[in-house]
A and B are shown apart, each in its own frame.
Chain A
Amino acid sequence: MMPTTPVVETDDRQLVQTIREGDADAFETLVRRKTTKVYALCYRIIGNAEDAKDISQLVFLKLWENLEKYDPAYAFDTWLYRMVTNVAIDFMRNKQSRDNAVNSTLRLVKTEADAEQGVVVQRKEVENVFNDVSSVLSPKQKTIFIMNQMEDLPSAEIAKILGCRESTVRNHLFNARKAMQAQLQKRYPEYAQLWRSR
């Protein structure tokens, strides 16, 4: 989860100011501080460790080149997250056009014993299921769903990050949930009963 506490924000702003004054070491500090957060979001959106690493590096290079454009009136993390989502969504769009069948071969193997025991959700299995059913979402829908469900960001914050209205975010969330439900019903009926229509 991307922290948005005032103390951290103040530190980030000071750090950015130091970088703008020509201190390259301060940029290294900023990269070190934000790496795990940026990489986590990239990984959840892209679903592949190596691609997520490359995209995260690209994000930091863009950050370096565009730091002058940052307006300290806004939270630094919001600005950073906007950069991450823009780069990741672009990557996903290109990837979708290159390979529409991404993730389509993933299948969850469940034994009868598992079924008898009830649905005991294993983390890796959930990850596989998510990668599979989320492949039908648009890059933007997937990004919004991940930010809301996995990064615990409220709709208002997501709207700020993406530069859209909160109602748009809620629409995307609703549509994403519907689309994933349909996929879950089709591919993983044992999970679909859990994820009832709300």
Chain B
Amino acid sequence: MMTCEIFRSTFHADTENAALLGHLRTCDRCLDFAANVDPDVMFRALGGEDLVPPGGVELFVDDVMRQVRVRGAEKVATIQRPVSWMRRLAIAATLATAVTSGSLVYRHNSAIPSSMMTSIKRAPIAAHQIALVTKPIVETYESQSATIMEVPNEPNDDVKIVMIFDENLPADL
């Protein structure tokens, strides 16, 4: 057990004696004495002992281990979904093809004269017009399976509009 008397009789500048330094860190009076002998020891008073983090060692360790487990899980998740170099190559090739094709189509469309573009745009309209060719006017129509409805017309209009619903309606009507 280091006493103040022993400390003061044995302390000298530049000492590295652990017991002396230990006493220095627990006794303010001896620190005052030692600082007059060796000014460097003044801040030595702050050192020496290990310190406990806020909340205690166990809480600290729990926190660290929790973070370690989280990082471990993230690592495992990354490893479980590895993308092989072949697959990466395939993805890269697909992307490159898509970009190149898109670029070529864009350039091709830009190179087409505007007159051709017009005709291309009109083509579906023409087809649509063909589909809407007017059917011949039917004067009379009789069928057992037909449902015929007369649409009310204007009093002075002599054209009668009739709606016919028939599963067996001829193709030319």
Contact = CB atoms under 8 A, between A and B. Distances in A.
Interface of A: 1, 24, 27-28, 31-32, 35-37, 39-40, 43-44, 49-50, 52-53, 56-57, 60-61, 64-65, 118-123, 126-127, 130, 145-146, 149-152, 154, 177, 191, 194-196, 198
A64 B61 CA distance: 13
Contacts, number: 115
A195 B44 CA distance: 12
A60 B29 CA distance: 38
B47 A150 contact: yes
B interface, how many residues as a size bin?
A: 35 or more
Contacts of A64: 68, 71
B16 interface: yes
Nearest to B31: A121
Interface in B113-161: none
A145 B44 CA distance: 10
Interface stretch (B2-10, B32-40, B79-87): B32-40
B57 interface: yes
B30 to A, nearest CB: 10
Nearest to B35: A194
A189 B28 CA distance: 20
Nearest to A126: B45
Contacts of B72: 24
B42 A31 contact: no
Contacts of A37: 50
Contacts of A154: 16
A28 B57 CA distance: 11
A73 B152 CA distance: 106
B44 A36 contact: no
A57 B28 contact: no
B91 interface: no
Interface string B43-63: 111111111111101001101
A123 B68 contact: no
B99 interface: no
B18 interface: yes
A152 B61 contact: no
Contacts of A118: 32
Contact of A35 (B18, B29, B49, B57): B57
B89 interface: no
Contacts of B16: 152, 154
A166 to B, nearest CB: 16
Given A126-B46, A194-B36, A49 B53 contact: yes
B64 A31 contact: yes
A50 B46 contact: no
B100 interface: no
Contacts of B49: 40
Contact of B47 (A49, A119, A152): A152
B67 A57 contact: yes
A19 B4 CA distance: 45
A52 B47 contact: no
